[in-house]
Chains A and B, each alone.
Chain A
């Protein structure tokens, strides 16, 4: 029995390598598959995997080979055929294809499936822009559907809390990778939509990964969960080149979980600035209003009428004055007329008096004189005056008839009646 000596790892790897290299069927062969995990190195080499629905093989496309490649830029999902030989990388203990040439075959199966699903969902209106809702400006509670263990959840919490310390965060821990991920993501989104949690905005996603890692976010069920979310939902799956189907169904999408937190949560400083802005607007508006009011007041108070408020009255004063004048004149005229009249009357009276007194004197004088001539005086001397019934003094026989009764007036007005006997 041969001595049993343990082999070193290197020896085993080298041994396998030599077997692989001997096999003609693994040398200078064409392999068909879809590129995934495309990853160029800094040194210019390109590492990627080729896969079909069940298997994967690593490929190395060294710079001295890939510099001759003139085809379309290689990327995940691209269906290609590569020409090369199987080699074993001893330090890593894995085999890979040393690629010499690459030819594009057309779209890879998976990518093709995604494109087909995308077209179907698009036709159903799942991606319609019109149905996208705005992300609430001031959410009270942020829901996160992601893995509780990845960097994504930590990034979201950190950024959200930095921006807005009073945000409430509710995490729905779910799987974001592997076969069970789609149903897990769907359940998490659905639970966050339960009204009792009072979630205002949801971030669903994960950190970056390979095309395969992100595949759950291309699954129809997941896309529909985004679509059916009652609460506005942000798709935040870390990726660079291709957009995922869930991105198109979400209300908004961002390339990283961190960006998701920035979109979902307002920054407290911004809010404070915004409030200050509003306060300024208030002050400006009120100042403007007051300025206008002041201008108007100024304009009005500068009007002649306010500078000379008497002006408002002068017309009236003048009118009153006029009326008063008229009344006065009228009164004055009236009075003076009356006065004149009175004066005239007085004058007349005086005149009349003087006339009267003159007349009186004359009268008295005359009376004295008359007295001496008075028949009454004569009567005392024995004369009498004869009068008829008409009190006419009889001075001629023609005035009387025979038989007519006459009256004789004697001294002291004594009267006797006589009858005419003859004439």
Chain B
């Protein structure tokens, strides 16, 4: 897999995957191109699966910094236990 593909997002990879699937299904590719498309598709599927298994997303809230700017602050939550460890203030 090319190095630059490390940056491909799930959506981008999936979009290309869908396009290739359609192309392949239309059956207008030559056999050789079909095999190439298939290989590309399997690479993309791998990327998609990797993206899905990436680290958990962040939970943040907007808050006012001392200088008055609006910043992101981490909200440490264990959503399974419904326990908030940071109290978000109403900002707006």
A: which residues have CB within 8 A of B?
A: 136-138, 140-141, 147-149, 154, 157-158, 161-162, 164-175, 183-185, 187-188, 191-192, 197, 268, 271-272, 275, 278-279, 281-282, 284-286, 288-290, 292-293
Contacts and interface: CB of A to CB of B under 8 A. Distances in A.
B72 A271 contact: no
11 contacts: A161-B56, A166-B55, A169-B59, A170-B60, A171-B60, A172-B92, A184-B90, A187-B92, A191-B70, A285-B34, A289-B31
Given A166-B57, A290-B31, A293-B31, A138 B24 contact: no
Given A138-B10, A154-B82, A158-B82, A285 B21 contact: yes
B62 A172 contact: yes
B61 A171 contact: yes
Contact of B25 (A162, A188, A192, A281): A281
A171 B58 CA distance: 11
Interface centre among A149, A281, A290 (most CB of B within 10 A): A281
B82 A282 contact: no
Given A286-B35, A293-B31, A173 B91 contact: yes
A170 to B, nearest CB: 5
B18 interface: yes
B85 interface: no
A199 to B, nearest CB: 11
A407 B73 CA distance: 163
Given A138-B10, A272-B52, A165 B57 contact: yes
A216 B14 CA distance: 39
A278 B54 contact: no
Contacts of A281: 21, 24-25
Contacts of B41: 278-279, 282
A275 B45 contact: yes
A167 B49 contact: no
A286 B39 CA distance: 10
Contacts of A149: 90
A285 B27 contact: yes
Nearest to A174: B92
B41 to A, nearest CB: 5
Given A275-B17, A275-B45, A292-B27, 11 more contacts: A154-B79, A157-B59, A166-B54, A166-B55, A168-B57, A169-B58, A188-B91, A192-B62, A278-B45, A285-B27, A285-B38
B70 A166 contact: no
Nearest to B89: A173
A171 B62 contact: yes
